Amino acid sequence: MKRLFLLSLFINIHFALFGQPSTEWAQFAETTLSTNAYGTFNTTDNSGNTYNVGYYGTSSGETFVAGSESISAEEGIGYDGFIIKYDTDGVVLWMESLGGKDSHDYIRSIKTDGSGNIYLVGYYEDSANFDGANTITTSGQQDTFIVKYNSSGVFQWVKEIKGTSSIKGESVTIDTSGNIVVTGSYAAGTISCEGLSISGSTQSLFVAKFDSDGTATWIGSIEYYATIGAKSLSTDSNDNIYITGSINTSQSKIKTATDGVSNDYSDTNITLTDFTSGSSDIFITKFNYDGELQWFKSTTNTGTASGNGIIVDSNDNFYITGYYNGTINTVNTSNDNDAFIAKYNSAGTLIWLESYGGSGDQSGVATVVDQLDDVYLTTDNTIVKLDSDGNQEWTRSSSSPTGTLETQSISINSGGDIIISGQFKEDADFNGTSIDAERSAWSIFTTKFSNSDDLPIELLSFTGSLENNQVLFTWETASEINNDFFTLERSKDGKNWQIIETIKGAGNSSTTLKYTTVDTTPFSKKSYYRLKQTDFDRQYTYSNSISIQKESTNEFILSYYPNPSRNTLTIEHNASQDINYQIINALGQIELRGTLLQQNDVINLSNLKSGLHYLKTYKKTVKIIVAKD
């Protein structure tokens, strides 16, 4: 009999478990009366300063307060947009507001350039005032504004995209050439900006490009036969533009106006072949530097879905996040919405997709990448960090002990620190750092986490070795802080993981500790393993994954999972043909019998009672546990 090849892995690591971020500061802004305030987006500059934007309710006598700064709202009922600048320590440096009596002014997105200049996009009704002197007005509908401030908050210029119907600017970015690119949606009609105009017969997406002086270069449009929602855009190293959002039709029309004078149009009909009829779906689209459409695609989804955020990494791959209900690219949800993050290459080909569910609705609201191309996803109350291959490294949750918290944006500063922002009611807790507004209306929060490698445990070694068809594991820790337990997890592909065993941690320890466990049923070929470390506050981190590879052998190998099982048991074996099996209860009675297909198959256990059973094949009998509860 040929002996199994032994692959022993010994990894000496001090940073195999990825450190969770610690809270550096948390600040809030609020109105002094009972109106709501909403935080929509945040960004940083090259000096590590943080900017938060949004809008707050106005009424007679209302004041908006952030730190030592305050703004008195103009008379009338409506909303005013705001921008707040924080230094690296969370101190408010200055604050500006878009005034306007009885107006509704909404700032939706913000970006900074290499010189620290600030660019905002949003939309307004009636009027908006930017510095006490520069006022813009609409004809009654909503129009989009693009405004520039310098790093001190001094107004530079404002541009408008106006039309015969509502126009909502949603997202802004700066490309490598310093151009400003914005996207949003408009209802049926004509929109124009500085001699450029474009029209649509139904709700449509628009994308527009400006130089650093605010001169419009081109406007592009995607017209829909039903509805469209453009949510976010990003640019790559070649200044190509990527946009995501949601649609509910499979046919679209592309129009662009690019020369700045004569309003030239290119008009092309396209059909989304991946679109699931009757559902709301996610779209992704790419324009080049000159506004020429490169491609337009949608996800395969059986329910409702939306792309909410998009970001491009240093290799010109891009990530989108959002929510879905039903099935997206073969990944199923429960009855609630689930959050997701997906990676695509520059051609729009899916590389991987990860989803995150829970007891209620979950939605990915924003995503960002750091200098190492690690990617961060935020939902309403949780940050998830993944590496570029989609492996989860850690999560960090925020909460409102007595109220509600909704995260809306995430950014990474030049030092790798993480900033989130949004709104909350009553109070909020960010890993032990609390803020308290003491009121039921919505208030703004801005929170900075240090993305350090301060580990809950210091892992000295992690050993896995294959012996007699079992994988033996040993790991040692030099110190532990707030460590509740370890979980050893196994995977066939390094993506989909199952729990093998949970091992109690030491809590707090400053001495070297040794842990051991065994996987008695590794997969018949390659098995991936990782450790999950969970704190007492239920925050957790993952180690790097390791793999154990088996060579071919004449010895019969049978793997089965999960065990305990509820309704199904997956079987893997290395027999060269189908094999017969029996399921026997503890009394020796045969309850099931059948044939296992070659290499792998699934046994339905739904008719078996809970308890100990035996799976018997022609060469091996193993214990299985059926657990219905």
| Domains along the chain with CATH numbers | 459-549 (2.60.40.10), 558-626 (2.60.40.10)
Q: How much is the pLDDT for 4? A: 27
The residues that bridge with 266 in the sheet, in sequence order, are 256
In angstroms and rounded to an integer, the radius of gyration of the C-alpha atoms of the chain is 28
Q: How far is CA 551 from CA 338, 469, 545, in A?
A: 39, 11, 20
Q: How confident is the model at residue 140 (pLDDT cuts 50, 70, 90)?
A: confident
The CB-side HSE value for 485 (13 A sphere, CA atoms) comes to 9
Query: What span, in angstroms and rounded, lies between the C-alpha atoms of 585 and 565?
Result: 15
Assess whether pLDDT exceeds 90 at residue 184.
yes
Q: What percent of the chain has pLDDT over 90?
A: 41
Mean pLDDT, range 258-284, rounded to an integer: 55
Q: How much is the pLDDT for 11? A: 30
The CB-side HSE value for 617 (13 A sphere, CA atoms) comes to 21
Sign of CA dihedral 97, 70, 400, 502: positive
Q: How much is the pLDDT for 506? A: 92
Confirm whether pTM is higher than 0.85: no
Q: How much is the pLDDT for 7? A: 29
Query: What span, in angstroms and rounded, lies between the C-alpha atoms of 77 and 95?
Result: 21
The residues that bridge with 27 in the sheet, in sequence order, are 446
Query: What span, in angstroms and rounded, lies between the C-alpha atoms of 283 and 296?
Result: 7
Return the closest-CA partner of residue 308 out of 245, 379, 376, 233: 245
Q: How confident is the model at residue 249 (pLDDT cuts 50, 70, 90)?
A: low
Q: How much is the pLDDT for 275? A: 47
Q: How confident is the model at residue 9 (pLDDT cuts 50, 70, 90)?
A: very low
Query: Is 311 in contact with 368 (CB distance < 8 Å)?
Result: yes
Q: How much is the pLDDT for 262? A: 38
Query: Is 142 in contact with 122 (CB distance < 8 Å)?
Result: no
Q: How confident is the model at residue 268 (pLDDT cuts 50, 70, 90)?
A: low
Residue-wise pLDDT tens digits, 203-239: 788 999 999 999 999 998 887 655 667 899 999 999 9
- The residue length of the chain stands at 629
Query: What span, in angstroms and rounded, lies between the C-alpha atoms of 308 and 233?
Result: 10
Q: Phi/psi at 198 (nearest 5 deg)?
A: -155, 150
Query: What span, in angstroms and rounded, lies between the C-alpha atoms of 364 and 373?
Result: 19
Q: Which of 166-180, 377-391, 494-508, 527-541 has the highest mean pLDDT?
A: 166-180
